[in-house]
Structure 1
Amino acid sequence: MFWTYGGGFQEGTSATFNASAIVAQSVVRGTPIVYVNFNYRLGPLGFPQGQEAANKKALNLALHDQIAALTWVQENIGAFGGDKTKVTVFGESAGAIMTAVQLLTPSFSRFARAAIFESGSAATALTFHAQHRQIDWNNFVAGVPGCAGLSETENTFGCLQSVNTTAIFDGLIIAQNEAPEEFPWSPTIDGEGGFMPELPSLLFAKGTFAKIPFISGTNLDEGTLFIPPATDYTAEVIMNGIIANFSPPAVPFVSMGQLENAVTHLLDLYPDIPALGSPFNTGNDTFGLSPGYKRISALFGDVSFQSQRRLWIQTASNAGVKTFSYLFTQPQPTNPAFLGVSHGSEIAFVYGAPPNATASAIALSTTMIDYWVSFATSLDPNDGKGSSRPTWEQYTPNNQVLIQLNGDNTTIIPDNYRKEGIDFMNSMPLTFHHRRSL
């Protein structure tokens, strides 16, 4: 089992890659498991932007690091008791996004036979050509002592390779403070032969992706963590915010007029009724916040996570891929009430350390571990080993279901929540699945 984990594309700036990785072994339910973690470059070192990086074919270096690590696994994992033919790649949030981008390359199946995606799909990241973020690269170089004079040239790489880590961090801090968007360092459209030759939704439509089994799931309230709670979210603020997040549109496919019309209809599908907003299942309680907070949280969570998970798994299952899906709904009493079951809430459960050790939480954690390990070892979460747990039905074109992961009610449910709104988003993925700013 091969593990990749992500908590943000720009949070780290490791300047080197440790190809030896970190390997741990354990026996779970009588089955030997080998876990591999590794270093990969993040921030401007992992995702350099701008014309120079494009000219040097130095885009998406973090993804190259992942391939280097997976190559190492194929060549060496046998020495650690692992089986190179039974590799599962596994990531959460940015880790899931990066791993999903890897699957846009059909030949990725030579590195792994399965994948697990927790709260992230290939189109969740902000997708641009590298030249769009030239300003971010210029700001970064301008903040690096000794390289500032080269910031607006196409001759920066040599200088950056000569400075120390402290200088790199100085540049990163300045670049982040001046960035016109929150996440400038993320996967980039890199053209023919690259990891992301064009927008992921176009590749999905062509069937251009690795056909390996996977689990893909989301949490109940994916949007709340990303919405500042102090803002007054009027309908005008929400509409302007959505349009700003998708401007410029994904030209030449979507015009500004099409975007504006689509957003107007989207707001009709997500009315200003707190009982319909996120955190879900909390009635008309607005937690002392703007009533529009729940509305925009629902919208953001569905655009960025829920609709993309549904489109991805439906596309893959329609292509004959063996897939399983989940919705994590376990209450999170350690969260502020306005966050609900927020992005990242499932992580502690997968690792056997739920934040509140109630009987319900401990039972769910055990169940999730058994599902995950069962899938990694047998390509099916229902191997009959470990804890007694409900059968997790496969997601197919004729059985579009997911498992609700809840310590008091783990059960199969139809994948039809907020169907009208999510169907509208998925009917025009070029409009709603490729955010342009944040």
Structure 2
Amino acid sequence: MPAPFAQAPEGRLRLRPPARLNSSLGTFDATGIGPSCPQMFFSTEGNLITSLLGNLINTPLFQKATGQTEDCLTVRVHRPADTKANAKLPVLFWIFGGGFELGSTQMYDGSGLVSTGVDQKKPFIFVSVNYRMGGFGFLAGKEVLADGASNLGLLDQRMGLEWVQDNIAAFGGDPEKVTIWGESAGAISVFDQMALYDGDNTYNGKKLFRGAIMNSGSMIPTDPVDCDRAQDIYNTVVREAGCASSRDTLNCLRGVDYDTFLNAANSVPGILSYSSIALSYLPRQDGVVLTDSPTTLAAAGKYAAVPMIIGDQEDEGTLFALFQPNITSRDRLVDYLWKVVFPDLQRQQISDLVDTYDSSILAGSPFNTGILNNIYPEFKRLSAILGDIVFTLTRRIFLEATVAAHPDVPSWSYLASYNRGTPILGTFHASDILQVFYGLLPNYASRSIQSYYISFVHTLDPNGGTSSEYPLWPQWKEKKELVQFWNNKSNLLKDDFRSKSEKWISANVDILKI
């Protein structure tokens, strides 16, 4: 299995910050793909289909088949063949996505990217990190806050970065040339790593990373660890685990057997459900690890300001709007966003947000598809709203904040449109995993983006040595332009679409909390 970077977070170490390994592993075979942390594919509650799937996936047989175990805090390292210990190659540190509920380093083989780097004469080392998810890594509530046990998944990621500093030189890597890269929840985690401890990204006097790439995610405005929504989740987990009568419910959760805790942690709404982006588990400010809401930290410049690439898929929201077929009118759309996603707001506020979006079937997401793909009334408008609030327009607002706070730090941004025409989904959230990460379609989009990224890893500039086949990618602050990627070309796009909606979201970003 890959190398562990922390003690197994089970038994007395469950629901506690990661404990560093202080003893030698001795002779250790690290060539396998390794375990996955416990997953939350589907909730064990909810409608008949998702609850059946959730209970099936939580069975010991399925967990064993997919390598799920609490003893999962490991890193995988891919490097070019015959790399010498003194090679000092730059390092690309991958944080996977999955809504903070599912995902694993098992799913991401970085060898293809490493080979591409070699082919381009820009070799690098690829490192991926496992971290705890769901109730194992992001359980919140006042009991968790009082115990100092919040944001454990972020702390796992941070310890993985520290492992790189301590060990990557032995693999031929340069610990002073680390770029962190993530997709979806992984991209949100990238910004959280920039914002942890008010932007202190040092370890033993050295910077943990020098650059950042965020695919579909940045700052997410959140309520505190002890907010009402988080407390409701905690209370549900406690009840389902049989710990409600305990004097110390958190300690009781640490003591129940694995299957009991897994089923209890997965008894709350999941991302692949009606609740959608109203996540049960995600990073929340605790006053220490995350001192404030990420939007507040970004606006105040309290983050490690490093050169960065950030962008989105054109139709980020379609995947999250598949599960609400009852939303067949404007009023139902308003009620859904108000009651499920933002219950602390006034209904009129949500109504105002909805009215910034064109009600025409021609206007929604998947964008530029005319009268097609509206699988239920309001699907396309809901898709546009969900995609913008979490990803696309929040990205623009984030870039505005970073340029204001740190105007000398360069940033580049993009919009991917290479899957336009895909029925219902368009260029959907996470489709870049196939195009960019794996390059399964060896087209212009995958080749050009990989080339830009690998150049960035080497020089902190996507244009740094990139083939003349690909045009200059201007910094975002110059004219606020995106590179728009297609299957066979790219072009510059003014980053001003849906400006009326952006203006409303920007003015209300501090109250649009999940």
Rounded to whole Å, the distance in 2 between the matches of 1:350 and 1:324 is: 16
Q: CA offsets per residue over residues 266-324 of structure 1, 9 Å max, x none?
A: 2332121011111101112245x234211121122112211110011121123222111
The AA in structure 1 aligned to 2:354 is L
TM-score after normalising by structure 2: 0.72
**CA separation of 1:111/1:297 partners in 2, compared to 1, >3 Å: closer, same or farther?**
same
**CA separation of 1:416/1:7 partners in 2, compared to 1, >3 Å: closer, same or farther?**
farther
1:79 equivalent in alignment to 2:170: yes
Which of the residues 120, 123, 132 maps onto 2:220? 123
**CA separation of 1:298/1:180 partners in 2, compared to 1, >3 Å: closer, same or farther?**
closer
Structure 2 partner of 1:214: 308
Rounded to whole Å, the distance in 1 between the matches of 2:139 and 2:347 is: 32
Q: CA offsets per residue over residues 402-432 of structure 1, 9 Å max, x none?
A: 1101123301111111112212211221233
The AA in structure 2 aligned to 1:413 is L
| Partner SS state of residue 181, structure 2 | strand
Is the 2:444–2:487 Cα contact (8 Å) retained in structure 1?
A: yes
| Residues 56-205 of structure 1: pairs in structure 2 closer than 5 A | 56-104=147-195, 105-108=198-201, 110-123=207-220, 126-132=222-228, 133-144=230-241, 148=242, 150-151=243-244, 153=246, 155-176=248-269, 183-191=279-287, 193-195=288-290, 197-205=291-299
CA drift of 1:194 comes to 2.1
Is the 1:223–1:342 Cα contact (8 Å) retained in structure 2?
A: yes
| Partner SS state of residue 316, structure 2 | coil
Rounded to whole Å, the distance in 2 between the matches of 1:8 and 1:185 is: 14
Structure 2 partner of 1:252: none
CA drift of 1:15 comes to 2.1
Q: Which moved more, 1:129-138 or 1:374-383?
A: 129-138
Rounded to whole Å, the distance in 1 between the matches of 2:128 and 2:380 is: 37
**CA separation of 1:76/1:39 partners in 2, compared to 1, >3 Å: closer, same or farther?**
same
Rounded to whole Å, the distance in 2 between the matches of 1:315 and 1:118 is: 18
| Partner SS state of residue 362, structure 2 | helix
Is the 1:88–1:114 Cα contact (8 Å) retained in structure 2?
A: yes
**CA separation of 1:65/1:424 partners in 2, compared to 1, >3 Å: closer, same or farther?**
same
RMSD: 2.7
Structure 2 partner of 1:299: 385
Rounded to whole Å, the distance in 1 between the matches of 2:165 and 2:264 is: 36
Structure 1, unmatched stretches of 5+, are 1-5, 250-255
Query: Percent same amino acid at aligned positions?
Result: 29
Which of the residues 444, 452, 458 maps onto 1:363? 444
TM-score after normalising by structure 1: 0.84
Structure 2, unmatched stretches of 5+, are 1-35, 42-62, 81-114
Structure 1 partner of 2:471: 390
Structure 2 partner of 1:22: 76
Rounded to whole Å, the distance in 1 between the matches of 2:331 and 2:393 is: 23
Q: CA offsets per residue over residues 211-239 of structure 1, 9 Å max, x none?
A: 11111101101111111363343010111
CA drift of 1:56 comes to 0.9
The AA in structure 1 aligned to 2:312 is T
Structure 1 partner of 2:370: 283
CA drift of 1:84 comes to 0.6
Q: CA offsets per residue over residues 314-349 of structure 1, 9 Å max, x none?
A: 21123222111010000256x4x1111111111111
Rounded to whole Å, the distance in 2 between the matches of 1:139 and 1:83 is: 45
Is the 2:439–2:446 Cα contact (8 Å) retained in structure 1?
A: yes
Is the 2:318–2:387 Cα contact (8 Å) retained in structure 1?
A: yes
Aligned length: 403
| Partner SS state of residue 369, structure 2 | coil
Rounded to whole Å, the distance in 2 between the matches of 1:153 and 1:172 is: 17
The AA in structure 2 aligned to 1:409 is K
1:224 equivalent in alignment to 2:224: no
Q: CA offsets per residue over residues 106-149 of structure 1, 9 Å max, x none?
A: 1126211111111112216x5343352233223323434xxx1x
Structure 2 partner of 1:253: none
Q: Which moved more, 1:208-217 or 1:237-246?
A: 237-246
1:273 equivalent in alignment to 2:360: yes
CA drift of 1:78 comes to 0.5
Structure 2 partner of 1:50: 141
Rounded to whole Å, the distance in 2 between the matches of 1:215 and 1:154 is: 48
**CA separation of 1:245/1:304 partners in 2, compared to 1, >3 Å: closer, same or farther?**
farther
**CA separation of 1:312/1:14 partners in 2, compared to 1, >3 Å: closer, same or farther?**
farther
Rounded to whole Å, the distance in 2 between the matches of 1:143 and 1:17 is: 24
CA drift of 1:152 comes to 5.0
CA drift of 1:153 comes to 4.0
The AA in structure 2 aligned to 1:138 is N
